[in-house]
C-alpha cells in the first residue's frame, strides 16, 4: 500500500507567484539563462517529475547532460514547456551541485552503485520495536551510510504498542542519536506532530524494511496536508509507477520526506572510515597518531590510547568499531 495524501483526480493545485521571479539573471551561465530551477520529485524510467514553483513538470534529461544522472532531491535547471500540462515534456539541462549524496553500493540484485537521494540532510531509519523484530545490524549499516554521507541519523521506532523502546535505545546510548518513538494508534489519534518536529526544516530520507510501518507513518505525515488546506501537486502522479524514491512535502513548507522504497539497507563497500569518524568529533582528533590507512581496529590504532587517557568515553570507541565492522558484513544482515 502506498497512498500518500492526494487524490490524483483532484484539480486543486494552487499556483503561487514565482518566488524567484525577481532574481537578477546571472551572466555566468550564458547557456540556458532562461532555464527555471526545480527539484526532482521522482524518477520513472527516464521520465522525471520536477517541481518548478508549485507546478509538477514532466521532464527528461537533455542530451547535453551525457551520462550524468538526476536523482530525487536534485536541484535542476529545466527548459522547454514548463506549463506542466498533460503530455508536455521539458528538458533538464543542468544538475546543480549536490550538498549530499546518499549512495547504495552494488549488491547481488543490483550490480550498479547508485546515488539514491541527493541533497538530503537527515536519514530516518525506520525500525519496528517488534513484528518484525529490530535488526541492530541493519540499523548499524544505515548509521554508517548516514555518517558517510554527512546526514544526521534519526531513529524512528515504530509499533511502540508492541514492545518498549528502552532496550534498543540503550544499545545506541553512546551514539547520542536523535530518535522518536511512535505507533499507529498515536499517529491516527494524536497525529504525527512528534515525528514532524524531528523533520522540520530538513530534507529527510526514510529507509526501512518491509513491514516496519513506514507507509503508515509517511501517510500520517503527509495526510495532514489535506486537512490543513495546504495542497500540493506532488503526490498525485508517479506514485504507484515506480520503485524510485519519492519526495513529499511536509505541511506548511516545513520540510521534505523522501521515501525510498526498495532501499532497505546499504551496501557499504564504498565507505571511507575517515568520513565515518568525522561523525565522532570526540574521537577524530585522536586519529592523528594512527598508522596510515588505519582501520581503527588494529593493535597500533591510536584511539585506544586516546580513550585510555580520558579524551573520550570507551563506549564511544566501541560503538565506532562496531559500526566500522559492519562494512565487512553482507547486505541483508
Ligand X SMILES: Nc1nc2c(ncn2[C@@H]2O[C@H](COP(=O)(O)OP(=O)(O)OP(=O)(O)O)[C@@H](O)[C@H]2O)c(=O)[nH]1
279 lines the binding site for ligand X (CB under 6 A): no
Instruction: Tell me the closest approach of the beta carbon of residue 124 to ligand X, in angstroms.
Output: 12
Strands (E), the chain: 36-44, 47-52, 55-61, 75-80, 90-95, 101-104, 114-118, 122-128, 152-158, 178-181, 202-208, 246-249, 255-259
Instruction: Tell me the closest approach of the beta carbon of residue 130 to ligand X, in angstroms.
Output: 8
159 lines the binding site for ligand X (CB under 6 A): yes
Q: Which of 42, 49, 127, 216 binds ligand X (CB under 6 A)?
A: 216
Q: Contact, 312 vs 283, CB < 8 A?
A: yes
Q: Which of 38, 73, 153, 213 binds ligand X (CB under 6 A)?
A: 213
283 lines the binding site for Zn ion (CB under 5 A): no
For residues 303 and 113, give the distance between their C-alpha atoms in angstroms, rounded to a whole number.
32
265 lines the binding site for ligand X (CB under 6 A): no
Instruction: Tell me the closest approach of the beta carbon of residue 157 to ligand X, in angstroms.
Output: 10
Closer residue to Zn ion, CB minimum distance, 234 or 283: 283
Of 159, 153, 100, 97, residue with least CA distance to 134? 159
Total residues found in the chain within this entry: 333
DSSP code of 4? -
State the helix-helix crossing angle for 314-325 and 136-149, rounded to 10 degrees.
90
CB-based burial label for 244 (10 Å; 0-12, 13-18, 19+): buried
Under DSSP, is residue 28 helix (H, G, I), strand (E, B) or coil?
A: coil
Q: State the number of binding residues for ligand X (CB under 6 A).
A: 15
Q: Contact, 302 vs 295, CB < 8 A?
A: no
Site for ligand X in 172-191 (CB under 6 A): 183-184
Of 31, 88, 20, residue with least CA distance to 54? 20
239 lines the binding site for ligand X (CB under 6 A): no
Closer residue to Zn ion, CB minimum distance, 52 or 301: 301
For residues 220 and 208, give the distance between their C-alpha atoms in angstroms, rounded to a whole number.
16
Of 286, 290, 288, 309, residue with least CA distance to 299? 290
Site for Zn ion in 288-307 (CB under 5 A): 290, 294, 296, 301
Of 199, 204, 208, residue with least CA distance to 72? 204
Closer residue to ligand X, CB minimum distance, 91 or 159: 159
Instruction: Tell me the closest approach of the beta carbon of residue 129 to ligand X, in angstroms.
Output: 9
125 lines the binding site for ligand X (CB under 6 A): no
Taking CB within 5 to 8 Å according to partner kind, which of ligand X, Zn ion, none is near residue 265?
A: none
158-166, 227-235, 245-253, 310-318 -> range binding ligand X (CB under 6 A):
158-166
162 lines the binding site for ligand X (CB under 6 A): yes
Taking CB within 5 to 8 Å according to partner kind, which of ligand X, Zn ion, none is near residue 62?
A: none
Taking CB within 5 to 8 Å according to partner kind, which of Zn ion, ligand X, none is near residue 114?
A: none
Instruction: Tell me the closest approach of the beta carbon of residue 242 to ligand X, in angstroms.
Output: 14
Taking CB within 5 to 8 Å according to partner kind, which of Zn ion, ligand X, none is near residue 174?
A: none
210 lines the binding site for ligand X (CB under 6 A): yes
Amino acid at each position: 500500500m502506498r497512498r500518500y495524501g492526494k487524490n490524483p483526480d483532484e484539480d486543486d493545485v494552487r499556483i503561487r507567484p514565482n518566488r524567484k521571479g525577481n532574481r537578477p539573471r546571472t551572466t555566468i551561465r550564458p547557456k540556458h539563462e532562461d532555464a527555471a530551477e526545480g527539484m526532482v520529485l521522482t524518477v520513472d524510467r527516464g521520465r522525471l517529475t520536477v517541481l518548478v514553483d508549485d507546478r509538477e513538470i514532466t521532464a527528461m534529461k537533455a542530451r547535453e547532460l551525457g551520462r550524468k544522472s538526476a536523482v530525487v532531491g536534485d536541484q535542476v535547471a529545466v527548459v522547454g514547456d514548463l506549463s506542466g500540462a498533460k503530455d508536455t515534456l521539458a528538458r533538464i539541462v543542468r544538475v546543480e551541485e549536490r550538498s549530499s549524496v546518499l549512495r547504495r553500493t552494488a549488491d547481488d540484485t543490483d550490480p550498479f552503485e547508485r546515488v539514491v537521494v541527493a541533497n538530503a540532510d537527515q536519514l530516518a531509519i525506520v525500525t519496528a520495536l517488534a513484528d518484525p523484530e529490530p535488526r541492530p545490524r541493519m540499523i548499524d549499516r544505515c548509521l554508517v551510510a548516514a555518517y558517510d554521507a554527512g546526514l544526521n541519523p534519526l531513529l524512528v521506532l515504530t509499533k511502540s504498542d508492541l514492545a518498549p523502546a528502552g532496550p534498543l535505545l540503550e544499545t545506541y546510548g553512546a551514539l547520542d542519536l536523535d530518535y522518536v518513538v511512535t505507533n499507529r494508534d498515536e499517529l491516527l489519534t494524536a497525529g504525527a506532530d512528534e515525528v514532524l518536529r524531528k523533520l522540520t526544516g530538513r530534507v529527510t530520507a526514510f529507509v526501512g524494511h518491509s513491514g516496519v510501518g513506514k507507509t503508515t507513518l509517511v501517510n500520517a505525515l503527509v495526510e495532514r496536508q489535506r486537512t490543513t488546506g495546504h495542497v500540493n501537486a506532488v503526490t498525485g502522479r508517479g506514485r504507484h509507477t515506480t520503485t524510485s524514491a519519492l519526495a513529499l512535502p511536509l505541511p506548511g513548507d516545513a520540510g521534505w520526506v523522501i521515501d525510498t522504497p526498495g532501499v532497505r539497507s546499504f551496501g557499504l563497500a564504498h565507505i571511507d572510515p575517515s568520513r565515518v569518524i568525522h561523525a565522532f568529533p570526540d574521537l577524530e582528533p585522536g586519529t592523528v597518531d594512527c598508522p596510515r590507512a588505519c582501520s581503527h581496529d588494529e593493535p597500533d590504532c591510536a584511539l585506544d590510547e586516546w580513550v585510555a587517557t580520558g579524551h573520550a568515553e570507551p563506549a564511544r570507541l566501541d560503538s565506532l568499531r562496531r559500526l566500522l565492522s559492519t562494512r565487512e558484513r553482507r547486505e541483508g544482515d
